[in-house]
């Protein structure tokens, strides 16, 4: 179901004495309309169904609402228009219709020239996001290639059994690529050996996926990891960036379906994200798995908001 933007969520501090330089997101964001000039469009995906099917902790459907509250007071440091495009809400257990609706909404936004920044929701968001990009590419960019960069402790290459879940989206995407004669270009950054079975690593190898483990992301190897990411990006025309917040340590990000025992330190994640954004090839980004029920004094919400802030400024700054 499509939901209109709830602009009541966008409120906060006002520093009127500082003029335009003191503006915050809540002062600049407006509801998206059909004739809105191209800008950054915040779109929510309110879904728990994929997490439920994957036997995770329920609560991510509330993520888009709480993340908007966390974003409201961010300083507006980029010049592009900022829009709230509302939510796509999954009704009952009909995840597949919700993903299809999300894809259609994303295609419409991209066709209109907007950059969609999608707030989840479980990582089942990825299959919906991909549907939107794939349709846009078929209509607008027929000869171009797409690369998927997933910051995640999990490979999310499980087999649908029998339906898709938050653990299956990249296998589902690989199937779609095969059906449509498209290459499956997938890089998972931050995968944890404790969170993925040998079967998943074997499947990643079979599908030609690239994997950078969390143990490889240490200060003395950070430039090498940046080069691995840059080399991946160089081989594609567009990048779909997806960030599962469980890539961070549980102490930093407790509010997810499956908290990480180790994770990637935030101060190492930021330069890796910059490497992706500086390529200027990112066409869509989404944030997955934020579960506000398990947050502690908004620590996780603020961390997620900082990630969104970095993406927004990297894309539109």
Q: Which residue is listed with tokens 């939510």?
A: 87
pLDDT for 19 = 85
Q: Which residues, other chains included, contact 270 with Cβ-Cβ below 8 Å and sequence gap of 6+?
A: 310
Residues 91-125: tens digit of each pLDDT:
989 999 999 999 999 999 999 999 999 999 999 99
* 94 appears as a binding residue in the annotation: no
* 15 appears as a binding residue in the annotation: no
Confidence of residue 16 (pLDDT cuts 50, 70, 90): confident
- pTM for the model stands at 0.97
Distance (Å, whole) CA 95 – CA 109: 21
Residues 18-63: tens digit of each pLDDT:
888 899 999 999 999 999 999 999 999 999 999 999 998 999 999 9
* 123 appears as a binding residue in the annotation: yes
Nearest one of 125, 28, 143, 126 to 74, comparing CA atoms:
28
Architecture in CATH of 2-314:
3-Layer(aba) Sandwich (3.40)
Q: Is the pLDDT of residue 141 over 90?
A: no
pLDDT for 99 = 97
| pLDDT (average), residues 185-213 | 98
Q: Is the pLDDT of residue 254 over 90?
A: yes
* 246 appears as a binding residue in the annotation: yes
pLDDT for 20 = 85
Residues 66-75: tens digit of each pLDDT:
999 999 999 9
pLDDT for 1 = 82
* 152 appears as a binding residue in the annotation: yes
Q: Where are the chain's structural domains?
A: 2-314
pLDDT for 143 = 84
Mean pLDDT, the chain, integer? 96
* 28 appears as a binding residue in the annotation: no
Q: Is the pLDDT of residue 268 over 80?
A: yes
Q: Is the pLDDT of residue 142 over 80?
A: no
Distance (Å, whole) CA 30 – CA 105: 18
Distance (Å, whole) CA 317 – CA 314: 6
pLDDT for 18 = 87
């Amino acid at each position: 179901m499509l939901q209109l933007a709830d602009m009541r969520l966008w409120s906060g501090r006002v520093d009127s004495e500082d003029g335009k330089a003191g503006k915050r997101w809540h002062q600049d964001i407006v509801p998206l309309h059909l004739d809105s000039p191209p800008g950054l469009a915040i779109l929510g995906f309110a879904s728990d169904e994929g997490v439920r099917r994957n036997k995770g902790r329920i609560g991510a459907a509330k993520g888009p609402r709480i993340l908007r509250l966390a974003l409201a007071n961010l300083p507006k440091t980029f010049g592009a228009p900022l829009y709230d495009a509302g939510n796509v809400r999954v009704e009952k257990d009909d995840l597949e219709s919700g993903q299809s609706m999300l894809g259609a909404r994303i295609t419409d936004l991209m066709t209109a020239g907007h950059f969609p920044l999608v707030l989840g929701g479980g990582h089942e968001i990825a299959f919906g996001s991909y549907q939107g990009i794939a349709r846009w590419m078929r209509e607008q960019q027929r000869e171009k290639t797409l690369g998927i960069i997933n910051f995640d402790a999990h490979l999310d290459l499980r087999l649908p059994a029998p339906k898709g879940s938050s653990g299956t989206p990249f296998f589902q995407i690989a199937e779609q690529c095969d059906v449509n004669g498209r290459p499956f270009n997938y890089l998972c950054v931050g995968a944890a050996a404790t969170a993925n079975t040998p079967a998943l690593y074997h499947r990643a190898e079979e599908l030609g996926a690239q994997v950078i483990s969390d143990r490889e992301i240490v200060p003395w190897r950070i430039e090498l990891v940046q080069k691995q990411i840059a080399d991946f990006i160089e081989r594609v025309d567009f990048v779909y960036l997806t960030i599962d917040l469980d890539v961070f340590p549980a102490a930093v990000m407790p509010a997810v379906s499956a908290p990480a025992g180790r994770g990637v330190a935030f101060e190492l994640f930021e330069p890796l994200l910059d490497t992706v954004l500086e390529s200027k090839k990112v066409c869509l980004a989404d944030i997955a798995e934020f579960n506000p029920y398990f947050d502690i004094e908004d620590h996780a919400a603020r961390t997620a908001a900082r990630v969104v802030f970095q993406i927004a400024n990297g894309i539109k700054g």
